[in-house]
Structure 1
Amino acid sequence: MSGPNDNFDPKQVASLDPAAIDGFVADALAAIGAATTTAELKQARHDHAGDTSPLALANREIGALPPQARKEAGQRIGKARAQVNQALGARQDEVAAAELEAALLAERVDMTLPVTTGPRGALHPITNLIDEMIDVFADMGWEIADGPQLEAEWYNFDALNVPEDHPARALQDTLWIDPPSAGKLLRTQTSPVQARALLTRGVPLYVVVPGKVFRADEYDATHLPVFHQLEGLVVDKGISMADLRGTLDHLAKAMFGSDTATRMRPHYFPFTEPSAEVDVQCFVCHGESVGNPDAPCRTCRSEGWIEWGGCGVVNPRVLRACGIDPDVYSGFAFGMGIDRTVMFRTGAPDLRDFVEGDIRFSRSILGGAR
C-alpha cells in the first residue's frame, strides 16, 4: 500500500498562498469600490468573480495540494470569494440607487414653471340637445331606435305611403345614389325608422328616433343639406290624437319652459291621417308682441308662434305595409328639426355656425342655453 503523496511544486500553487489570496481580494474590492456605473460594475464582476478571475483560477489549483492542505486552502478560497460576492451585491444596490437618483434628477419637472394648457373641448349644441330630448322620452319609458343613413327607397317612401309621383322623390329634394335604378338614397327624414321598428320590434311600440337626414337644400342661414331630426312613434291599442297632443305639450315644456304652450294646424303628410303642423308659443314674448309695434319680438317676428314640426295619426296604409292590423292598433307620429330647436332655445342667428367646428361657438351656445 502506497503512502500519501506529499510531493508538490510550491510554484505551481503559489496562487494559494494566503498573501496572494489576500492580494486578490484587495484588488477585487478596490475595483468594485471604484465602479460607479452598472457597466463598470459588470466588468469588475467579470474580472474578479468570473470563471477566469484570479480567485477562480486559484480554486482550480487546490487539487495539486497534499490532501491534508486542501481543506484549509478550500476554506480560505471560499471565504475570499464570498467576501468579493458580498461586496459586489452591496455595491450593486448603491450603483442602482445612484443611477435612479440621477435619472430622476435629469427628468425632473419643475412644477412651479408657468405652463400653457390647451383649450378645453365642449359638447356640440346639437349633440347636447339630442341627449336632453332623448332623456325626456326615456323617462316616459320609450325606447331609442336608429336606422341607416343610406336608405332603401321602399323604407323612405313606399312604406310611408308616399306616391311615386310625389315631389319629394324628385332630384331637387332627394339625394339619390348612383345608379338611380338601385333605389338607394340618403334618407330625407327619420321616418323610415318607423317602418323598420314596426317590422322588427312589433307592437305595442313606443320609440323615439334621433338622427341625421339629408336634403338637396341650399347652404344658407336657415337651410342645411345635412341636418338632424327627432322622430317619435307610438303604436298601441286605443291611441288617439289626444295622446299626441299631450306628448308634444310635455316635450315643449321640457325644452322651452313650464309655461310653454303648443297649437296644431291642419296639414298634409302621406304617412299620417289626420296630419298637423305643431307650433310652439314664442318662449320670449309669449304672444304679447302680436299686434304690438311698441314691443316687437325678433324670435317669432311678432307672430306669437314658432313652427316646430309635423305630426299626426299614423296612416292605416303605413300600418298595413308593416303587417299591423289598423282595425286593432292605432298610433301617432311626430318629427321636428333638432337644429332649429337649438336655434329657438338659444337665439342662434345662422345655421351655418353649427357646422363650422368653432369651439367658441359651441361654448357660447351651451352657456346661453335655457
Structure 2
Amino acid sequence: MSGPNTNYDPVQVSALDAEQIEARVAEALAAIADASSTAELKQVRIAHTGDRSPLALANREIGALPPAARKDAGRRVGSARGTVNKALAARTAEIAEAELQASLAAETVDVTLPVDEHPQGALHPVTALIDMVSDIFTSMGWEVAEGPECESEWFNFDALNLGTDHPARALQDTLWIDPVSDGKCLRTATSPVQIHTMLSRGVPVRIISPGKVFRADEYDATHLPVFHQVEGLCVDKGISMAHLRGTLNHFARAVFGDVKTRFRPHYFPFTEPSAEVDVECFVCHGESVGHPERPCRTCRSEGWIEWGGCGVVNPRVLAACGVDTDVYSGFAFGMGLDRTVMVRNNAPDLREFVEGDIRFSRSLLGGAR
C-alpha cells in the first residue's frame, strides 16, 4: 500500500518572498502616512489595495506554489494586507476629522458682525400692478371687490347676457369642472364679481375686481391658461359714456404717463354700446408712424396699443341683478394685467411671468415707471 508523496521541488515565486512582502507593506504605510486629503488617500487605496496592487498580485501567485507551501505564503500575504487595510482605515478617519474641522472653521459665521439687510424676494410685477391699480381707483372713491374663482354657469355667462349657444361656453374656451352637467367652471373673467356685488349690495356701486381668470388657451409666449384681469363697474343715476371716457383717460395716464386714449366700436354681449379702448404709445407717442427710419418696438410703429374693452352696461345685465334700468345706468371696462405689464415693461415672453425666476421680477420692478 503506497502513501502520499510529500516530496516536491519548491517553486520560487519572488512576489511571495518575505522581504518583498515587507517592502510592499512599508511602501503602502509610507504612502498612507503621506496622504493629506481624501482625494490623495483614494489614490493610495487604489495603488496599494486595489486589484492591480502589488499585494493583490502576490495573493494571486499563491496558487503557483505546491500545496504544502501555500499555507505559510497565504498567512504572510493576508497579514500584510490586513496591516495595510488597518492603516488605511485609521488614516481615513484622521483625514475625515481634519477636513470636517477645516470646513467648520471656514464656514464659521460671526453673528456679532453687522449685516447689510438685502431683500430676499421681490414682488411679482403683476401683483405690483394690481396694488397700483387698486391705489388709483381707491383714491377716486372706488372699492376693490373679490369673488370666487370657481363660478356657476349663471354668474359666469347667463347673468352677463351670454346666450346658451355662445361660443365662449364651449370646451375649447372654458375650463369646466367635472361633471360638466353641474354647470361649474373656472371663471373666464372677473365679471361675475360685478354680478355678486350688485346682488349682495345693490346700487349705486363703484368697484374694480382684479384677479385670476382661466381660459383653455395654449401656453406660449403670448398666451397663458391662467392670467390676470382687472374689471371696473360703475352703476348710478345718470351715468353715461362720457363718464367712462374720463375714467379711462385718468386710468391710462396714471399707468402709462401723459398719453391719450381712443375708442373703437366693438361688440360685447354685456355692454351696449361697446368699444375697444386703445392707448397712445407711451414711447413714441405716434411719431414713428410712417417713419421706417425710426421704428418703435413697443407699438410696432402703429402709434396705438390695444388695451382692453369697455362700454355702457347692457340693461339686461342690470335687470338680471334686480336693478331698475329706468333709474340707473352704468359703465364697465376690463383689461389684461399681464399684457399691461408686458407692454409697459417690454417683457418679451408671458411664460416668464409664471416661471418664478426672482431675477425676472426684479428686472421688471427695477424698470417700472
User: Structures share a fold, TM > 0.5?
Assistant: yes
Deviates more, 1:115-124 or 1:332-341: 115-124
Tell me the SS of whatever aligns to 2:176. Answer: coil
What is the rounded CA distance, in whole Å, between the counterparts of 2:116 and 2:368 in structure 1? 29
What is the rounded CA distance, in whole Å, between the counterparts of 1:256 and 1:124 in structure 2? 19
Tell me the SS of whatever aligns to 1:317. Answer: helix
Which residue pairs with 2:165 in the alignment? 165
What is the rounded CA distance, in whole Å, between the counterparts of 1:343 and 1:332 in structure 2? 26
Q: Matches of residues 1-370 of structure 1 in structure 2 within 5 Å?
A: 110-111=110-111, 120-257=120-257, 259-370=258-369
What is the rounded CA distance, in whole Å, between the counterparts of 1:172 and 1:354 in structure 2? 23
What is the rounded CA distance, in whole Å, between the counterparts of 2:236 and 2:109 in structure 1? 65
Tell me the SS of whatever aligns to 2:212. Answer: strand
What is the rounded CA distance, in whole Å, between the counterparts of 2:206 and 2:261 in structure 1? 22
- RMSD over aligned Cα atoms: 1.7
Could you say if the C-alpha distance between residues 109 and 361 of structure 1 is closer, same or farther in structure 2, counting changes exceeding 3 Å? closer
CA drift of 1:120 comes to: 1.5
What is the rounded CA distance, in whole Å, between the counterparts of 1:217 and 1:249 in structure 2? 30
What is the rounded CA distance, in whole Å, between the counterparts of 1:178 and 1:330 in structure 2? 37
- What is the letter of the counterpart of residue 218 of structure 1? E
What is the rounded CA distance, in whole Å, between the counterparts of 1:132 and 1:359 in structure 2? 20
Tell me the SS of whatever aligns to 1:299. Answer: coil
- What is the letter of the counterpart of residue 305 of structure 2? I
Tell me the SS of whatever aligns to 2:342. Answer: helix
What is the rounded CA distance, in whole Å, between the counterparts of 1:309 and 1:360 in structure 2? 29
Could you say if the C-alpha distance between residues 117 and 204 of structure 1 is closer, same or farther in structure 2, counting changes exceeding 3 Å? closer
CA drift of 1:109 comes to: 7.1
CA drift of 1:119 comes to: 6.2
Identical-residue share of aligned pairs (%): 77
Residue correspondences, number: 262
Could you say if the C-alpha distance between residues 199 and 112 of structure 1 is closer, same or farther in structure 2, counting changes exceeding 3 Å? closer
CA drift of 1:344 comes to: 1.4
What is the rounded CA distance, in whole Å, between the counterparts of 2:138 and 2:116 in structure 1? 41
What is the rounded CA distance, in whole Å, between the counterparts of 1:118 and 1:369 in structure 2? 20
What is the rounded CA distance, in whole Å, between the counterparts of 2:289 and 2:218 in structure 1? 31
- What is the letter of the counterpart of residue 156 of structure 2? N
Q: TM-score, normalised by structure 2?
A: 0.69
Tell me the SS of whatever aligns to 1:137. Answer: helix
CA drift of 1:110 comes to: 3.3
What is the rounded CA distance, in whole Å, between the counterparts of 2:335 and 2:136 in structure 1? 15
- What is the letter of the counterpart of residue 323 of structure 2? I
Tell me the SS of whatever aligns to 2:223. Answer: coil
What is the rounded CA distance, in whole Å, between the counterparts of 1:177 and 1:194 in structure 2? 22
Tell me the SS of whatever aligns to 1:279. Answer: strand
CA drift of 1:186 comes to: 0.2
Tell me the SS of whatever aligns to 1:224. Answer: coil
What is the rounded CA distance, in whole Å, between the counterparts of 1:310 and 1:342 in structure 2? 17
Could you say if the C-alpha distance between residues 200 and 346 of structure 1 is closer, same or farther in structure 2, counting changes exceeding 3 Å? same
What is the rounded CA distance, in whole Å, between the counterparts of 1:140 and 1:152 in structure 2? 32
